[in-house]
Amino acid sequence: MQSRTPAPRAAGRPRSAAADTAILAATRQALVELGWSKLTLQDVASRAGVAKTTLYRRWAGKNELVVDAVAELFDELELPDHGTLAADIEGVVLQFAAILARPEARSGLMAVVAESTRDAALRERIRQSIVERQKRLVVDGRARAQERGELPASADPEEAARTADLIFDVVAGAVVHRTLVSAEPADEQWARGLTKVLLLGLAGTA
């Protein structure tokens, strides 16, 4: 699992990975049981079995803690190898939708995104901890499809990077809107339709 990016701390005793794990797990549990609005650092500390000051040494506040707790869920996303680009995309879309269906992801993500509209530092943390980290799926998926001969090789690295950003925005935006805004099921039929639209766009670009 990739590393978290909690708040900087003063030099001192080494951080405990076990404490970090317990705190993030406790945060997700609190999101499920209480929701974002009622979650407090004191409650998280009690659930994790640590002092409240331990949280403040690692995270600047509640929003940053929730971002990292939710980001850990998205680190579970994996690029499947189903033999075709279409099947691989459908697999990622269904994984993504399943994570967003979890109450801790749904309530946590919606809350911090709303908070980030007036907090540039929080918005950057979301971008770095969640968005940028998951763009690897697009990069790896395109590379695999190119090796299979399903997509042409990228001649211009800058253009390839811009295209990867756009693909991620299209897929992530569609899944988030479907599951969190429209509150409709992102099932296999829907994932297949989204994939078909995306691949037609890629074919047109090629």
Q: Which helix (DSSP H) or strand (DSSP E) does residue 161 occupy?
A: helix 157-176
Closest alpha carbon to 28 in 94, 85, 75: 75
d(CA 195, CA 197): 5
Residue 114's alpha-carbon distances to 40, 61, 66, 119, 122, in angstroms, are 18, 16, 13, 9, 10
Rounded average pLDDT over 40-61: 94
Per-residue pLDDT of 147-163, as tens digits, reads: 999 988 887 888 888 98
Rounded average pLDDT over 66-80: 95
Least confident of 11-20, 82-91, 117-126, 171-180: 11-20
Which pLDDT belongs to residue 16?
77
Rounded average pLDDT over 88-100: 96
Residue 206, SS3? coil
Q: How far apart are the first and last CA of the chain?
A: 34
Which pLDDT belongs to residue 203?
53
Whether the per-residue pLDDT at 11 is higher than 80: the answer is: no
3-state secondary structure labels for all residues of the chain: CCCCCCCCCCCCCCCCHHHHHHHHHHHHHHHHHHCCCCCCHHHHHHHHCCCHHHHHHHCCCHHHHHHHHHHHHHCCCCCCCCCCHHHHHHHHHHHHHHHHCCHHHHHHHHHHHHHHCCCHHHHHHHHHHHHHHHCHHHHHHHHHHHHHCCCCCCCCHHHHHHHHHHHHHHHHHHHHHHHHHCCCCCCHHHHHHHHHHHHHHHHHHC
Rounded average pLDDT over 99-125: 95
Angle in degrees, 0-180, between the axes of helices 136-148 and 85-100, rounded to the nearest 10: 160
* Residues 6+ positions from 36 with CB-CB distance below 8 Å: 66, 107, 108, 110, 111, 112
* Domain chopping of the chain, boundaries: 71-205
CATH fit for domain 71-205, picks 1.10.3720.10, 3.40.50.1220, 1.10.357.10, 3.60.20.10: 1.10.357.10
Which pLDDT belongs to residue 206?
45
